[in-house]
Every structure is written in structure tokens, then in C-alpha cells.
């Protein structure tokens, strides 16, 4: 029997490399259609045990469906004996994702298994409990919508850039689906979560089911540098703390491609400000098991080149890293306290020429 079209055969899914169309079928049907056995291009794949695939229209490549999730990562493709060869995992497009895959899959899968006591659930619950006026006033009130304590000003700015939510088709790029589920609760027509981490997709699914929006959530395993999504098809793309893990030029080129004219991109990310270098040398990184390459002026330059309107706004030049230091010592800040301190910080720095650019929390905003 054909696989579930609602889950797996969305017309918006395409080959991440060639952008050719894909068709859902069983592995047996695919091999019968192409007249050859389809085998993993990479012998040390993380994934096995699948019976359904997405077959590319040229018949040379298929992509597995893992527990119903489209695995549209080029290194995980299945190919014919006379077809493409395996991708090199040292390629910068894939290297970081694969180096971090075990860590992120483990952490997110643990959250998915205990979703109602997870941090992800706690971040979404205030929106689920909000009344109609609070949903309509997105992204206010802050205690309902915001969850990035140490990047709260940048997050509010990024959310504001995406308004209004109702009727939109939105992509969350990277992460466990927290923002996608919030957007759905706020009235978005459809939300997609795109991340190379299967564990994060499972967490997103569990979160959507817990808050009764699973019928409008789509999940795809892919990298931002090779988005397997049709061009000119989305109203907005949001990334929370993930853009700095990507090859920014490739990722933003793909984001611009999938957005409709007038579509908006918003990201919240760390910036390599002076206090970042000092802070990480003294206190170490916030996440010790993963890469952290904060954005710089050179890395974010494609935003200005690719989008009709673009800006980067800095926050927290004086207070963000002291607050992070206190967190490291077991003294976390509340959202309300961080918001007040960041507002005062930004006001002071706005009066002193050039100081605002030292802010290590940024919102990156673009309009196609």
C-alpha cells in the first residue's frame, strides 16, 4: 500500500540536491519501478529498518522515511549501483550536523519521551493557556510568548517581524518545534520544522500532539544549506539560536528561495562581541558538547545582499554576559528581570556611539 500521503507525500517536498520532485512509495515499489536495488550510499548510516521511501523523479535516488519522517539528508540517500556516490561527511555543509547528531538526538529524544515535564512543554504552555486577546496581540504579552530569557529583546523583535500569524505557512529552521507549535496556537495555518536531527523532530511531534496542533505540523529531516522545499512556497522562516551553526550564505540563499515575495525571515542568534571572547575564555561555552561560532559582520553579509530589506539589531552589550555568568554559577535570571535589564542596557548603549554594536544578542531580519 502507498504510504500516508498526508504525512509523507506533500507536494512541497523536493530533492535537497537537485530540487527534483519526489514521490512516496514503498522501497519494494521503488526498486520495481527503477529496475534495480536501492542501497544506502553511506555504509555507516545512523538509520535502518525503513520500508517506505521518497523516490526522485529521475529514479536514481530515493530518501528513507524513518518512523514516518522524511529523511531528506543527501548523505542518507539510497542509490542504484550505477547512480550517485556517497556524500563526504567532511563537506562543510554536513560536517557540523553529523558531529553533533548523536548529542542533539539523545537530548531531544529524552524530552520527547517525557514531553509534559520537558522544558519545551514549559515554553509553549503559556501560549496554550492564553486567552483570545493574548493570542491576537502576538508577540505580547512577553510572559506568554517569549522563552529566550537571555535573548528576550531579540526574540520579541524577531517575532514582531513575523506578524501577523493567522493564515501563514511558516518554517522553523532548527530546534525542537517550540516556535512552530507556538505559531500554530497563534493562528498560523501550517508550520514546518526542518532540522537534521530526528530526535528534534520527534520532540516537535510530541509537543504538537500535547497541544492539539499535530494535524497542522510537518516535520522534515534536512539541513538549511539544502532545503528540500519548493520555491516561493512559504510566508515566513524563523530560526532561534541555530543560524550561527550553519554555512550562512548557503542557508540564507535557500531561505530566500523558498519564501514568497514579501515573505519574511527572522533569526535570534549570538554575536561575536568583545564580551563573548572574554566570557567564553573564562567561563566556557553554554553547551560544551556542540560547536558555537557566533555571527560576525562578514558572516551575516549575505542577509543584506539576498533580501530586499534587511537589518541586524544588537542587544545586551553590557548585561547579557554578566547574566550568563550568573547562570553558570547557579543564579539564573527570570524573564522579567532580564527584559528590564536589557531595556536599560540598550537605552544606555544607544546614547554612546558604537557601543550598541557590542551587543552579543542579535535579531537578523529580512524581507524578500
Grid coordinates belonging to 323: 547574566
Q: Does the pLDDT at position 277 exceed 90?
A: no
Q: What percent of the chain has pLDDT over 90?
A: 77
Give the cell for residue 228.
528540500
CA–CA dist 62, 21 (Å, integer): 11
How much is the mean pLDDT over the chain?
A: 91
Q: Residue 163 has what pLDDT?
A: 97
pLDDT at 267: 98
pLDDT for position 32? 95
Q: Which residues, other chains included, contact 207 with Cβ-Cβ below 8 Å and sequence gap of 6+?
A: 115, 120, 121, 124, 176, 177, 178, 181
Question: What mean pLDDT do residues 169-194 have?
Answer: 98
Angle at Cα 66 formed by Cα 245 and Cα 110, nearest 5°?
Answer: 60
Q: 68's torsion region: left (phi>0), alpha (psi -120 to 50) or beta?
A: left
Helix axes 119-128, 178-185, angle to 10 degrees: 10
* Residue 3: pLDDT band with limits 50, 70, 90: very low
5-61 confidence digits (pLDDT tens): 344 457 899 999 999 999 999 999 999 999 999 989 887 766 677 899 999 999 999
8 Å CB contact between 168 and 144: no
pLDDT tens readout for residues 222-256:
999 999 999 999 999 999 999 999 999 999 999 99
- Label residue 4 by pLDDT band (50, 70, 90): very low
pLDDT at residue 8, rounded to an integer: 43
Does a cis peptide bond (omega within 30 degrees of 0) precede residue 164? yes
**Which pLDDT score, from 0 to 100, does residue 50 have?**
85
Note the pLDDT of residue 228. Answer: 98
CA dihedral 69, 85, 11, 252 (to 10 degrees): 90
CA dihedral 125, 131, 135, 136 (to 10 degrees): 180
**pLDDT of residue 138 exceeding 70:** yes
What pLDDT score does 208 carry?
98
Q: What's the whole-number mean pLDDT along residues 270-290?
A: 64
Q: Are 183 and 170 in contact (CB under 8 A)?
A: yes
Q: Give yes or no for residue 164 having a pLDDT over 60.
A: yes
CA 361/CA 93 separation, integer angstroms: 25
Average pLDDT over residues 278-307: 75
Q: What pLDDT is attached to residue 291?
A: 59
Query: In the predicted model, is pLDDT for residue 282 greater than 90?
Result: no
Over residues 277-292, mean pLDDT: 56
Start and end residues for every CATH 3.40.50.150 domain found in the chain: 100-367
Residue 272: which of 220, 320, 230 has the closest Cα?
320
Instruction: Answer yes or no: is pLDDT of 219 > 70.
Output: yes
Average pLDDT over residues 263-271: 97
Percent of the chain with pLDDT over 70: 92
Q: Distance between CA atoms of 75 and 61, rounded to whole angstroms?
A: 11
Q: How many residues does the chain have?
A: 368
Residues 243, 292, 207, 239, Cα dihedral to 10° = -10
Assigned fold of 100-367: Rossmann fold (3.40.50)
Q: What mean pLDDT is predicted for residues 55-76? A: 94
Quickly state the pLDDT bin for 206 (edges 50, 70, 90): very high
Q: Taking 80 as the threshold, does the pLDDT of residue 202 lie above it?
A: yes
pLDDT at residue 17, as a whole number: 95
Q: What is the pLDDT of residue 260?
A: 98
At 316-360, the pLDDT tens digits run 999 888 888 788 888 999 999 999 999 999 999 999 888 999 999
Reported confidence tier of residue 302, pLDDT bands at 50, 70, 90: very high
pLDDT at residue 157 greater than cutoff 50: yes
Phi-psi region of 136 (alpha: psi -120 to 50; beta: other; left: phi over 0): alpha
Amino acid at each position: 500500500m502507498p504510504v500516508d500521503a498526508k504525512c509523507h507525500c506533500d507536494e512541497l517536498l523536493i530533492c535537497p540536491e537537485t530540487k527534483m520532485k519526489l514521490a512516496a512509495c514503498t522501497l519494494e515499489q521503488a526498486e520495481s519501478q527503477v529496475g534495480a536495488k536501492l542501497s544506502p550510499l553511506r555504509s555507516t548510516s545512523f538509520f535502518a529498518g525503513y520500508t517506505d521511501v521518497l523516490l526522485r523523479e529521475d529514479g536514481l535516488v530515493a530518501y528513507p522515511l524513518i518512523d514516518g519522517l522524511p529523511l531528506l539528508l543527501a548523505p542518507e540517500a539510497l542509490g542504484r549501483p550505477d547512480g550517485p556516490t556517497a556524500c563526504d561527511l567532511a563537506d562543510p555543509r554536513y560536517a557540523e550536523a553529523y558531529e553533533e547528531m548523536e548529542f542533539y538526538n539523545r537530548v531531544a529524544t529524552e524530552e520527547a519521551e517525557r514531553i509534559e515535564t520537558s522544558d519545551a512543554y514549559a515554553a509553549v504552555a503559556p501560549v496554550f493557556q492564553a486567552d483570545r486577546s493574548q493570542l491576537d496581540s502576538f508577540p505580547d504579552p512577553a510572559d506568554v510568548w517569549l522563552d529566550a530569557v537571555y535573548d528576550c529583546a531579540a526574540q520579541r523583535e524577531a517575532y514582531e517581524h513575523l506578524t501577523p500569524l493567522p493564515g501563514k505557512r511558516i518554517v522553523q529552521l532548527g530546534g525542537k518545534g517550540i516556535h512552530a507549535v507556538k505559531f500554530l496556537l497563534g493562528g498560523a495555518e501550517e508550520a514546518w520544522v526542518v532540522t537534521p536531527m530526528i530526535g528534534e523532530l520527534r520532540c516537535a511531534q510530541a509537543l504538537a500532539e500535547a497541544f492539539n496542533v499535530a494535524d497542522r505540523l510537518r516535520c522534515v529531516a534536512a539541513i538549511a544549506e539544502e532545503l528540500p522545499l519548493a520555491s516561493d512556497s512559504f510566508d515566513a522562516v524563523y530560526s532561534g539560536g541555530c543560524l550561527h551553526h550553519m554555512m550562512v550564505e548557503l542557508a540564507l540563499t535557500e531561505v530566500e528561495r523558498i519564501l514568497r515575495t514579501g515573505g519574511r525571515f527572522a533569526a535570534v542568534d549570538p554575536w561575536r562581541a568583545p564580551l563573548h571572547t572574554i566570557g567564553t575564555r573564562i567561563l566556557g561555552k553554554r553547551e560544551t558538547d556542540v560547536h558555537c561560532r557566533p555571527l560576525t559582520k562578514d558572516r551575516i553579509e549575505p542577509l543584506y545582499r539576498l533580501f530586499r530589506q534587511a537589518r541586524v539589531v544588537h542587544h545586551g552589550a553590557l548585561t547579557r554576559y554578566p547574566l550568563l555568568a550568573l547562570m553558570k554559577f547557579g543564579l539564573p535570571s527570570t524573564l522579567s528581570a532580564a527584559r528590564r535589564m536589557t531595556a536599560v542596557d540598550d537605552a544606555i548603549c544607544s546614547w554612546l556611539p558604537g557601543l550598541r554594536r557590542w551587543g552579543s544578542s542579535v535579531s537578523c531580519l529580512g524581507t524578500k
